[in-house]
A and B are shown apart, each in its own frame.
Chain A
Amino acid sequence: MADWWKTTADNILKVPLKSFNKQFSTTTVRAGSQLTVRDALNAAIDEEIKRDDKVFLLGEEVALYDGAYKVSRGLHKTYGDKRVIDTPITEMGFAGIAVGAAMAGLKPICEFMTFNFSMQAIDQVINSAAKTFYMSAGQVPVPIVFRGPNGAAAGVGAQHSQCFASWYSTCPGLKVLSPFSSEDCKGLLKAAIRDPNPVVFLENEIMYGTSFDMSDEAMSEDFVIPIGKAKIERQGNHITLVSHSRYVGHCLEAANELAGQGVECEVINLRSIRPMDEETIVKSVMKTNHLVTVEGGWPQCGIGSEICARVIESQAFNYLDAPVLRVTGADLPTPYAKQLEDNSFPQTHNIVGAVKKSLNIS
């Protein structure tokens, strides 16, 4: 894995908007190489549009502009107006149209420029996409992917800094994925597009420019990661850290730091929020007897709350040697100023502190 943690919000902010393109990698897809998260997502969409003529991408600025975050770069040039479609800035309208297209048999990839704007369209995601297969007793499937950056970006204020994992994952009928690495992004997005159900695919803006090693297998057009399985990113015996998206990286960083003090953390990358891989979490907790959850979302009814509930309802409860601790985003709307924002989301020292508290060490 690359030194992903060197990509900080600071680095991104230093890039002037006009030269935004220049920070994007020009990685070509070749075996054994590194790939940015952005290019991995681009490859997944490219391969699936090529593979299935019912797959198309629509959203704001996805075609001529190459995507607000350049995830769809080059796709319009390759596939043209039919498969890569710019929409007006009207989320409820185009999300509804995408859902209708899916009900009638196509497989849309509906990009939200960010998930903050998906709230304008949340009725179409929940009431139309997630529930129709059930309401119709299996007559009307809705094979659609809603994707875009989720969670806090950098310096964009309260309305543009929010994690929707908890919001969407509460709803049966949806699948909710939250990838961390380039491999996750490619394999899970391809799985999402091929899945016959509505899938909410939560990317992370700050991660787009981050490079990761890609195996030959992951570079293949046939590479698909099964939905619903977590990945143990690092094995350890002393404590379990469960996280998703960008904060998996923070957990790995904390694990590195703690390893120097003789503490071996097991780091679980959830990958899939719904369905959630409870089995992997429970097994790990039964081994380590300690659990800390880490996420960027708010604490109340968050993903950590769900993990906590599942663990204490499971046989792992009897194996816990300390209370479960949740490291979460602070319980407030995101402030703008950097020093305030930095303290609104988990940092590595928050995780290290929580681990030490759980293990009762200093």
Chain B
Amino acid sequence: MLSTVGRALRNSSTPKTLFVGTRCASTEATFEVAQCKLHKLEQGPATTVTCTREDALKYYRQMQTIRRMETTAGNLYKSKQIRGFCHLYSGQEACCVGMENSITPEDSVITAYRAHGWAYIRGISVHGVLAELIGKKTGCAQGKGGSMHMYAKNFYGGNGIVGAQVPLGAGIAFTQKYLNNGNICITLYGDGAANQGQVYEAFNIAMLWKLPCIFVCENNGYGMGTSVERASYSTDYYTRGDYMPGLRVDGMDVLAVKEATRFAKDYVLKNGPLLIECATYRYSGHSMSDPGTSYRTREEIQEVRQTRDPITSFKQKLLETNLVTEDEMKKIDQDVRKEVTESEKLAIADTGPPLEDMYDHIYVQPEADFKVRTCDPVTMVASR
């Protein structure tokens, strides 16, 4: 019965929800997701995805936490508690949540400068992210990294140089292949970086050496203030690997992203690299200095929020299938708000990094007598 319905819906332009049960608190449900566009692939990811109640609650909570955390970060920036760069992930939550839930903690991830959501999903607490943004000792990089340089176990940043993380990610995948440990690396970049030369140098080597790397182009429509059409001769980013197979997935649908990533992990372990274009959208400007309205209309942002929002649309699906109740999601919203608010308060109250920490971590295992020159020409400080 299910498969019949699935086939019927597969060709429809709008993915629909399949009902497994009509009573509240079903244990799982199967959802139709949009078919991926494929490049040099015979078969793509499945178009039906089964999700347990437990997982649905988890994905919802993770996406809401990132949304709330980013809203808070935006406010902290406006109140001048966060300095410098601050690139928000709001609108793109389904990408990192969908991907993380198809890999293991032993798999690796490296991304670009829009890193807060990824840092959180890879294991840094909301407090760890916010404290880093405010520049506190309790931040995930002890206040030394900031918005673009957050790290966790098997999460290698956070990179402030557009495109530089792509060869690095291929190198992480090289290590996984060298050690033959069965793990993969997800290497993310944006539609802006998709025109950088080193991306293609990395693609070439990754294909030659069959590295277990999923390259992911998070296409949010704009590289800073330039739309993809104005920056890229070809905006079919999933085909831009040329000889590298690719697929375009709806990056606003967490289940579609999860299924595409499951497919991709299996693929890269057997065959070598695969390119996923994650079609997504960012609500905020490129960074905090960008109101995000000179190169796109407010109506466009409003329309995406109303019709394609990754959280709202997921919520709708969960309600339609009776997999999760409205009350349960309200409870999660409240919990998330509380967690983020408390983390924010804690981060604001935390102390800043002490000056004596400043000279540490320049070298691994420095010589016992290694001293660092300070701004004062006659003062040298020991470094650990």
Contacts and interface: CB of A to CB of B under 8 A. Distances in A.
Interface of A: 56, 82, 87-88, 90, 92-106, 123-124, 127-128, 132-141, 143, 172-173, 175, 196-197, 228, 275, 313
Contacts of B205: 87-88, 90, 93-94, 97
Most A Cβ at <10 Å: residue of B141, B159, B175, B201: B201
A140 B151 contact: yes
A101 B185 CA distance: 11
Most A Cβ at <10 Å: residue of B149, B169, B174: B174
B149 A100 contact: no
B300 to A, nearest CB: 34
Interface string B290-301: 000000000000
Contact of B364 (A56, A99, A141): A141
B171 A96 contact: yes
A124 B361 CA distance: 19
Interface of B: 108, 110, 141-145, 149, 151, 156-161, 164, 166-176, 178-179, 197-198, 201-202, 204-205, 208, 360-365, 367, 370, 372, 377
A251 to B, nearest CB: 27
A137 B171 CA distance: 21
A216 B35 CA distance: 69
A101 B364 contact: no
A109 to B, nearest CB: 14
Contacts of A94: 167, 201, 205
B144 A104 contact: no
A102 B175 CA distance: 8
Contacts of B168: 96-97, 99-100, 103, 124, 128
Most B Cβ at <10 Å: residue of A82, A98, A101: A101
A93 B203 CA distance: 9
Given A124-B167, A133-B362, A104 B108 contact: yes
Given A99-B168, A103-B156, A133-B362, A92 B176 contact: no
Given A101-B174, A139-B141, A173 B201 contact: no
Nearest to B108: A104
A180 B157 CA distance: 38
A96 B156 contact: no
Contacts of A127: 160-161, 164
A105 B364 CA distance: 14
B227 to A, nearest CB: 26
Contact of A90 (B158, B172, B201): B201
Contact of A93 (B167, B360, B363, B365): B167
A193 to B, nearest CB: 14
A173 B143 CA distance: 18
> Which 7 residue pairs across A and B have the least CB separation, nearest first?
A100-B171, A96-B167, A93-B201, A100-B168, A104-B175, A137-B142, A196-B364
A135 B145 contact: yes
A238 to B, nearest CB: 30
Given A92-B201, A104-B172, A275 B370 contact: yes
B382 to A, nearest CB: 14
Contacts of A93: 167, 170, 198, 201-202, 204-205
Nearest to A101: B171
Contacts of B204: 88, 90, 93
10 contacts: A82-B178, A99-B167, A100-B171, A101-B174, A103-B156, A103-B171, A103-B172, A135-B145, A137-B144, A275-B370
Most B Cβ at <10 Å: residue of A96, A124, A141, A172: A96
A140 B156 contact: yes
Nearest to B199: A93
